[in-house]
Amino acid sequence: MYRTDIGVIGLAVMGRSIALNMADHGFKVGGYNRSRQVTERLIEEHPHENLVPFYELKELVASQERPRKFLIMVKAGKPVDLVIDQLSPLLDAGDMILDGGNSFFEDTRRREQQLREKGIYYFGTGISGGEKGARFGPSIMPGGDEAAYAHIAPILETIAAKAKGEPCCAYMGPDGAGHYVKMVHNGIEYADMQLIAEAYLLLKYAGGFSNEELADMFARWNQGKLKSYLIGITADIFREEDDFQDGQLIDYILDSAGQKGTGRWTSLESLKQGVNVSLITAACNARIMSNRIEKRKLAKELIPEPKGISAPEKAVMKELVEQGLYTAKITAYAQGFELLAHASKEYGWNLRYGRIAAIFRAGCIIQAEFLEDITKAFEKNPELDNLMLDSFFLDGIRKGQESLREALCIGIKNGIPLPAMSQAAAYIDAFRGVPAGANLIQAQRDCFGAHTYERIDRDGIFHHDWGQDHE
């Protein structure tokens, strides 16, 4: 009988990659997939002395010493419950199940409680980095029982990406904390990608930059304060030649993008928590609008284009968009981390925001240079209410907000949709804004529904007789 250190259940792209990652690091991995053919293909294409195929769950379970450890890598939702239903009767108290998919955190909380009652530890384990990250070092966000985490930490922290020698993996908190952090990570990712797409639209359709110029520009940005995984791959994308004809591939890709749901979850959870994540919501809505291809074509014929204005010379335009993008990026991360702070209090997770930023520094999609500065901000002030109040990021907002506004004006005047950048400016103004117009809203609510109002000159709750009926 083979002896294994951990079992990976689900050997599609992500499961296969992380199983091979574990095997490369010297762990004996038992691999199991519902379809025998998938397991056989993995072993045929990627033979590895530390990767052992199993075709029966009972045999996989029997291959481990207690406490046993199993990482589920299947599609979120019902498939996870089905695997748990098959696996849990074979386990003993003290054994552990890790869910490495993009499960909704409330599902994770439910499963954790149900399995805890059986003495089985359940970890909602966010994994970011895509196929390459899973294979060679992802960012990992486990949540569950803190004491039990010691049994899985050696594996997870060994296979994780490293930033300055530190593993991009850390215990997040109890029950659904790990999947919640991953959800917000993905929400920030949506905003980040949309902001970069809007910068592209401004530069190409208002500024007149070619793909070659864009590639050079983004490559230069990736050497400075905008340095990040997404900026780096964007520079490469602009250079990529098409497979079928002359020109760059970017110009032949359909202007429509899908989404898997984590961004929407972030937006919905923000409404529940009463936190403004307008950039993430705008990014989700932008993808929705991008899918209305036929309606967009019709509307283009019916709604006239604005007269438009000339963009400034290229050197000025490039600087405006760079500064505006950086300013908006600060705003997106500020919104995401504020949502984490509210959730931490709501669910009693005691999240460590500086550590969260630190594990995002490598391996994941939103890895970026200024995550170092986010880590420093929370190390300096663990109770920081909003990133924009930290001196480093406050200075960035002060220096960059005018560029953001000028870039927006150019885009809006030329009919370029900039929903995320627009929300960044709106958020900054709402955050610092007095007045906000809420006095009028209070008056309206009291007028039509007697909902009362508060005053600026005295304490208490008031109601005014507005003098007439309104229909």
Q: Catalytic residue positions?
A: 182, 189
Asked whether the beta carbons of 333 and 325 are under 8 A apart, the reply is: no
Say how far apart CA 236 and CA 3 lie, in whole Å.
44
- Sequence-ordered list of residues with C-beta below 8 angstroms from that of 286, at least 6 positions apart, any chain: 194, 197, 417, 419, 420
Q: How far is CA 460 from CA 64, 334, 430, 454, 466, in A?
A: 66, 33, 25, 7, 19
User: Chain centroid to CA 32: how far?
Assistant: 29
Say how far apart CA 267 and CA 265 lie, in whole Å.
5
Q: Which residue, among 135, 127, 114, has the nearest Cα to 181 in the 3D structure?
A: 127
Residues 77, 82, 84, 86: what is their CA dihedral angle, to the nearest 10 degrees?
A: -170
276 phi and psi angles, rounded to 5 deg: -85, 110
Asked whether the beta carbons of 234 and 192 are under 8 A apart, the reply is: no
89 phi and psi angles, rounded to 5 deg: -65, -15
Element (H, E) at 128: strand 121-128
Say how far apart CA 425 and CA 260 lie, in whole Å.
27
- Sequence-ordered list of residues with C-beta below 8 angstroms from that of 127, at least 6 positions apart, any chain: 14, 18, 100, 133, 134, 138, 139, 140, 141, 182
Say how far apart CA 54 and CA 59 lie, in whole Å.
7
Q: For the stretch 161-189, what's the b/e string if a residue is b when 16 or more beta carbons lie within 10 angstroms of its beta carbon?
A: bebeebbbbbbbbbbbbbbbbbbbbbbbb
| Beta-bridge partner residues of 166 | 163
411 phi and psi angles, rounded to 5 deg: -65, -45
Please, how many CA atoms are within 13 Å of residue 1, restricted to the half-sphere of its CB? 10
Q: Which residue has the tokens 């359709």?
A: 205
Asked whether the beta carbons of 60 and 37 are under 8 A apart, the reply is: no
Say how far apart CA 10 and CA 12 lie, in whole Å.
6
